[in-house]
Amino acid sequence: MGGWAVVLLAAAVSCAPQPEASDKPSASGNNTCEKGEQATRTSGKLTIATDEPAYEPWFKDGDPANGKGFESAVAYAVARQLGYGKDRVVWQTVPFNKAFAPGEKTFDFDINQVSVSAERKKAVDFSSGYYDVRQAVVALKGTKASKATGIAGLKGLKLGAQVGTTSLDYIENVVKPTRQAAAFAKNDQAKSALKNGQVDAIVVDLPTAFYITGAEVTDATIVGQFENQGGTPEQFGLVLDKGSALTPCVTDAVDALREDGTLAKIEQQWLSDAVDAPVLK
Protein backbone atom coordinates (compact mmCIF):
# COMPACT_ATOMS: atom_id res chain seq x y z
CA MET A 1 0.00 0.00 0.00
CA GLY A 2 1.27 3.49 -0.71
CA GLY A 3 2.11 5.58 2.30
CA TRP A 4 2.94 8.51 0.13
CA ALA A 5 2.63 11.93 1.69
CA VAL A 6 1.08 14.56 -0.45
CA VAL A 7 1.30 18.22 0.25
CA LEU A 8 -1.60 19.83 -1.53
CA LEU A 9 -0.19 23.13 -2.60
CA ALA A 10 -1.73 25.70 -4.89
CA ALA A 11 0.07 28.77 -6.05
CA ALA A 12 -2.15 31.75 -5.53
CA VAL A 13 -0.49 33.66 -8.32
CA SER A 14 -2.92 36.38 -9.19
CA CYS A 15 -5.51 38.58 -7.64
CA ALA A 16 -9.14 37.87 -8.28
CA PRO A 17 -11.05 40.38 -10.38
CA GLN A 18 -12.58 43.11 -8.27
CA PRO A 19 -16.36 43.47 -8.29
CA GLU A 20 -18.00 46.49 -9.79
CA ALA A 21 -19.86 48.80 -7.47
CA SER A 22 -23.21 47.31 -8.48
CA ASP A 23 -21.99 43.86 -7.43
CA LYS A 24 -21.59 44.69 -3.74
CA PRO A 25 -23.25 42.18 -1.41
CA SER A 26 -26.88 43.06 -1.05
CA ALA A 27 -27.10 42.31 2.66
CA SER A 28 -23.62 41.89 4.08
CA GLY A 29 -24.87 41.88 7.64
CA ASN A 30 -27.49 39.24 6.91
CA ASN A 31 -26.25 35.82 8.05
CA THR A 32 -29.50 33.96 7.49
CA CYS A 33 -29.78 30.80 5.42
CA GLU A 34 -33.48 31.42 4.74
CA LYS A 35 -34.23 30.08 1.28
CA GLY A 36 -33.77 32.66 -1.46
CA GLU A 37 -32.97 35.36 1.08
CA GLN A 38 -29.22 34.90 1.59
CA ALA A 39 -26.64 37.68 1.35
CA THR A 40 -25.79 37.09 -2.31
CA ARG A 41 -23.80 39.40 -4.61
CA THR A 42 -26.98 40.54 -6.32
CA SER A 43 -30.21 40.56 -4.34
CA GLY A 44 -32.52 37.72 -5.41
CA LYS A 45 -29.90 36.15 -7.69
CA LEU A 46 -27.20 33.50 -7.18
CA THR A 47 -23.95 34.12 -9.11
CA ILE A 48 -22.01 30.94 -9.93
CA ALA A 49 -18.59 30.96 -11.59
CA THR A 50 -16.54 28.45 -13.59
CA ASP A 51 -13.72 28.53 -16.13
CA GLU A 52 -13.96 28.72 -19.92
CA PRO A 53 -13.87 26.43 -21.82
CA ALA A 54 -16.12 24.29 -19.63
CA TYR A 55 -14.98 20.71 -20.21
CA GLU A 56 -16.93 17.46 -20.36
CA PRO A 57 -17.91 15.43 -18.39
CA TRP A 58 -18.22 18.31 -15.89
CA PHE A 59 -20.21 20.44 -18.33
CA LYS A 60 -21.89 19.68 -21.66
CA ASP A 61 -21.51 21.53 -24.96
CA GLY A 62 -19.33 24.16 -23.26
CA ASP A 63 -22.43 25.72 -21.67
CA PRO A 64 -22.53 25.70 -17.85
CA ALA A 65 -26.03 27.20 -17.88
CA ASN A 66 -27.74 24.24 -19.58
CA GLY A 67 -27.87 22.04 -16.45
CA LYS A 68 -26.06 19.19 -18.26
CA GLY A 69 -22.80 17.63 -17.08
CA PHE A 70 -21.88 16.73 -13.51
CA GLU A 71 -20.90 20.15 -12.19
CA SER A 72 -23.68 22.05 -13.94
CA ALA A 73 -26.19 19.61 -12.44
CA VAL A 74 -24.60 19.91 -8.98
CA ALA A 75 -24.58 23.73 -9.22
CA TYR A 76 -28.30 23.86 -9.98
CA ALA A 77 -29.07 21.29 -7.28
CA VAL A 78 -27.22 23.45 -4.72
CA ALA A 79 -29.00 26.54 -6.04
CA ARG A 80 -32.42 24.85 -5.61
CA GLN A 81 -31.44 23.77 -2.11
CA LEU A 82 -30.60 27.40 -1.32
CA GLY A 83 -33.96 28.54 -2.75
CA TYR A 84 -32.84 29.82 -6.17
CA GLY A 85 -34.51 28.35 -9.26
CA LYS A 86 -32.74 28.12 -12.61
CA ASP A 87 -34.10 31.52 -13.68
CA ARG A 88 -32.39 33.15 -10.69
CA VAL A 89 -28.91 31.73 -11.38
CA VAL A 90 -26.33 33.94 -13.13
CA TRP A 91 -23.17 32.34 -14.58
CA GLN A 92 -19.80 34.08 -14.66
CA THR A 93 -16.42 33.14 -16.20
CA VAL A 94 -13.46 33.04 -13.79
CA PRO A 95 -10.11 31.36 -14.66
CA PHE A 96 -9.28 28.28 -12.56
CA ASN A 97 -6.36 29.79 -10.64
CA LYS A 98 -8.16 33.06 -9.94
CA ALA A 99 -11.05 31.23 -8.28
CA PHE A 100 -8.96 30.45 -5.19
CA ALA A 101 -6.47 33.33 -5.33
CA PRO A 102 -6.58 35.95 -2.54
CA GLY A 103 -8.91 38.91 -3.05
CA GLU A 104 -12.60 39.74 -3.00
CA LYS A 105 -14.70 37.52 -5.24
CA THR A 106 -17.24 38.57 -7.87
CA PHE A 107 -19.23 35.33 -7.44
CA ASP A 108 -21.29 33.67 -4.70
CA PHE A 109 -19.56 30.34 -5.31
CA ASP A 110 -17.27 28.81 -7.94
CA ILE A 111 -17.56 25.23 -9.19
CA ASN A 112 -14.55 24.12 -11.24
CA GLN A 113 -13.00 20.85 -9.97
CA VAL A 114 -11.17 22.75 -7.23
CA SER A 115 -9.75 20.37 -4.64
CA VAL A 116 -10.07 21.40 -1.01
CA SER A 117 -6.66 21.96 0.62
CA ALA A 118 -5.31 23.64 3.74
CA GLU A 119 -3.16 25.94 1.59
CA ARG A 120 -6.13 27.14 -0.48
CA LYS A 121 -8.22 27.62 2.66
CA LYS A 122 -5.86 30.43 3.66
CA ALA A 123 -7.28 32.53 0.82
CA VAL A 124 -10.86 31.28 0.34
CA ASP A 125 -13.68 29.34 1.99
CA PHE A 126 -14.82 25.91 0.77
CA SER A 127 -18.10 24.09 1.11
CA SER A 128 -18.01 20.46 2.19
CA GLY A 129 -16.91 18.13 -0.62
CA TYR A 130 -19.34 17.36 -3.45
CA TYR A 131 -17.11 14.77 -5.21
CA ASP A 132 -14.42 12.34 -4.02
CA VAL A 133 -11.51 12.54 -6.46
CA ARG A 134 -8.96 10.08 -7.80
CA GLN A 135 -6.07 11.21 -10.02
CA ALA A 136 -5.20 9.15 -13.11
CA VAL A 137 -2.38 8.82 -15.65
CA VAL A 138 -3.10 8.98 -19.41
CA ALA A 139 -0.57 7.91 -22.08
CA LEU A 140 -0.65 7.06 -25.78
CA LYS A 141 -1.29 3.38 -26.52
CA GLY A 142 1.77 1.24 -27.21
CA THR A 143 4.25 3.61 -25.55
CA LYS A 144 6.60 2.83 -22.68
CA ALA A 145 4.43 5.02 -20.44
CA SER A 146 1.30 3.00 -21.26
CA LYS A 147 2.97 -0.17 -19.92
CA ALA A 148 3.74 1.26 -16.46
CA THR A 149 2.13 -0.83 -13.72
CA GLY A 150 3.21 1.22 -10.73
CA ILE A 151 4.71 4.50 -9.58
CA ALA A 152 8.28 3.20 -10.15
CA GLY A 153 7.50 2.85 -13.87
CA LEU A 154 6.57 6.54 -14.10
CA LYS A 155 9.68 8.00 -12.45
CA GLY A 156 11.83 8.29 -15.58
CA LEU A 157 9.06 9.73 -17.77
CA LYS A 158 8.29 13.29 -18.85
CA LEU A 159 4.93 13.94 -17.17
CA GLY A 160 2.61 16.92 -17.49
CA ALA A 161 -0.48 18.45 -15.84
CA GLN A 162 -2.38 21.72 -15.55
CA VAL A 163 -0.70 24.32 -13.35
CA GLY A 164 -2.15 24.89 -9.87
CA THR A 165 -3.85 21.48 -9.75
CA THR A 166 -3.54 18.51 -7.43
CA SER A 167 -2.76 16.53 -10.61
CA LEU A 168 0.55 18.43 -10.76
CA ASP A 169 1.01 17.94 -7.01
CA TYR A 170 0.68 14.16 -7.46
CA ILE A 171 3.43 14.20 -10.09
CA GLU A 172 5.78 16.23 -7.90
CA ASN A 173 5.00 14.70 -4.51
CA VAL A 174 3.90 11.11 -5.21
CA VAL A 175 5.68 10.10 -8.42
CA LYS A 176 8.72 12.38 -7.77
CA PRO A 177 9.99 11.93 -11.36
CA THR A 178 13.64 12.33 -12.30
CA ARG A 179 12.64 14.78 -15.06
CA GLN A 180 10.92 18.08 -14.28
CA ALA A 181 7.17 17.99 -14.83
CA ALA A 182 5.62 20.13 -17.55
CA ALA A 183 3.00 22.56 -16.24
CA PHE A 184 0.33 23.77 -18.66
CA ALA A 185 -2.06 26.71 -18.33
CA LYS A 186 -4.97 24.62 -19.62
CA ASN A 187 -5.82 20.91 -19.90
CA ASP A 188 -6.19 21.45 -23.68
CA GLN A 189 -2.47 22.30 -23.84
CA ALA A 190 -1.59 19.20 -21.83
CA LYS A 191 -3.62 17.03 -24.23
CA SER A 192 -1.90 18.61 -27.25
CA ALA A 193 1.52 17.98 -25.68
CA LEU A 194 0.57 14.32 -25.18
CA LYS A 195 -0.61 13.95 -28.78
CA ASN A 196 2.54 15.65 -30.11
CA GLY A 197 4.90 13.53 -28.01
CA GLN A 198 6.16 16.50 -25.95
CA VAL A 199 5.27 14.59 -22.78
CA ASP A 200 5.09 10.84 -22.16
CA ALA A 201 1.93 11.01 -20.04
CA ILE A 202 -0.40 13.50 -18.37
CA VAL A 203 -2.16 13.39 -15.00
CA VAL A 204 -5.83 14.43 -14.70
CA ASP A 205 -8.75 13.42 -12.49
CA LEU A 206 -10.28 10.05 -13.35
CA PRO A 207 -13.55 11.21 -15.02
CA THR A 208 -11.55 13.59 -17.24
CA ALA A 209 -9.20 10.70 -18.08
CA PHE A 210 -12.14 8.59 -19.25
CA TYR A 211 -13.46 11.45 -21.37
CA ILE A 212 -10.03 12.19 -22.92
CA THR A 213 -9.44 8.55 -23.89
CA GLY A 214 -13.02 7.97 -25.01
CA ALA A 215 -13.71 11.11 -27.03
CA GLU A 216 -10.70 13.39 -27.47
CA VAL A 217 -7.44 11.46 -27.79
CA THR A 218 -8.75 8.06 -28.84
CA ASP A 219 -5.28 6.55 -29.31
CA ALA A 220 -4.61 7.19 -25.60
CA THR A 221 -5.27 4.87 -22.69
CA ILE A 222 -5.68 5.17 -18.92
CA VAL A 223 -2.49 3.74 -17.41
CA GLY A 224 -4.02 3.67 -13.95
CA GLN A 225 -5.21 5.69 -10.99
CA PHE A 226 -3.40 6.74 -7.83
CA GLU A 227 -4.55 5.68 -4.39
CA ASN A 228 -5.93 8.48 -2.24
CA GLN A 229 -3.16 9.81 -0.04
CA GLY A 230 -3.65 9.77 3.72
CA GLY A 231 -6.88 9.16 5.60
CA THR A 232 -9.05 11.83 4.00
CA PRO A 233 -10.01 11.46 0.34
CA GLU A 234 -9.25 14.35 -1.99
CA GLN A 235 -12.52 16.19 -2.59
CA PHE A 236 -13.78 18.91 -4.88
CA GLY A 237 -15.47 21.74 -2.96
CA LEU A 238 -17.38 24.86 -3.93
CA VAL A 239 -15.18 27.96 -3.56
CA LEU A 240 -16.47 31.02 -1.69
CA ASP A 241 -15.04 34.35 -0.61
CA LYS A 242 -13.00 34.14 2.60
CA GLY A 243 -15.39 34.61 5.51
CA SER A 244 -18.48 34.57 3.27
CA ALA A 245 -21.81 34.56 5.12
CA LEU A 246 -22.93 32.02 2.49
CA THR A 247 -20.34 29.36 3.41
CA PRO A 248 -22.42 27.60 6.12
CA CYS A 249 -25.54 27.79 3.93
CA VAL A 250 -23.78 26.28 0.92
CA THR A 251 -22.14 23.59 3.07
CA ASP A 252 -25.54 22.67 4.53
CA ALA A 253 -26.93 22.45 0.99
CA VAL A 254 -24.12 20.15 -0.21
CA ASP A 255 -24.46 17.98 2.91
CA ALA A 256 -28.21 17.65 2.36
CA LEU A 257 -27.69 16.63 -1.29
CA ARG A 258 -25.16 14.00 -0.23
CA GLU A 259 -27.42 12.64 2.51
CA ASP A 260 -30.56 12.36 0.36
CA GLY A 261 -28.69 10.61 -2.47
CA THR A 262 -28.91 13.47 -4.98
CA LEU A 263 -25.13 13.74 -5.43
CA ALA A 264 -24.84 9.98 -5.99
CA LYS A 265 -27.65 10.13 -8.55
CA ILE A 266 -25.99 13.02 -10.44
CA GLU A 267 -22.64 11.21 -10.33
CA GLN A 268 -24.21 8.04 -11.72
CA GLN A 269 -25.84 10.02 -14.54
CA TRP A 270 -22.83 12.04 -15.67
CA LEU A 271 -19.74 10.17 -14.41
CA SER A 272 -20.83 6.55 -14.77
CA ASP A 273 -17.80 5.77 -16.97
CA ALA A 274 -15.44 6.69 -14.13
CA VAL A 275 -15.29 3.13 -12.83
CA ASP A 276 -12.26 1.34 -11.44
CA ALA A 277 -9.02 1.73 -13.34
CA PRO A 278 -5.84 -0.16 -12.32
CA VAL A 279 -4.38 1.25 -9.09
CA LEU A 280 -0.77 2.47 -9.36
CA LYS A 281 1.26 1.66 -6.25
pLDDT tens, position by position, 241-255: 999 999 999 999 999
pLDDT band with cut points at 50, 70 and 90 for residue 31 = low
b (16+ CB within 10 A) / e for 176-192: ebeeebbbbeebebbbe
pLDDT band at 276 (very low <50, low <70, confident <90, very high): low
Residues of the chain with pLDDT > 90, as a percent, come to 78
pLDDT tens digits, one per residue of 180-189: 999 999 989 9
pLDDT, tens digit, 9 for 90 and up, residues 149-165: 999 999 999 999 999 99
- Which residues touch 250 (CB under 8 Å, ≥6 apart)? 78, 82, 109, 127, 238, 240
CA distance 136 to 131: 15
pLDDT given for residue 29 in this prediction: 41
* Predicted pLDDT of residue 193: 97
pLDDT digits (tens, 9 = 90+) for 89-101: 999 999 999 999 9
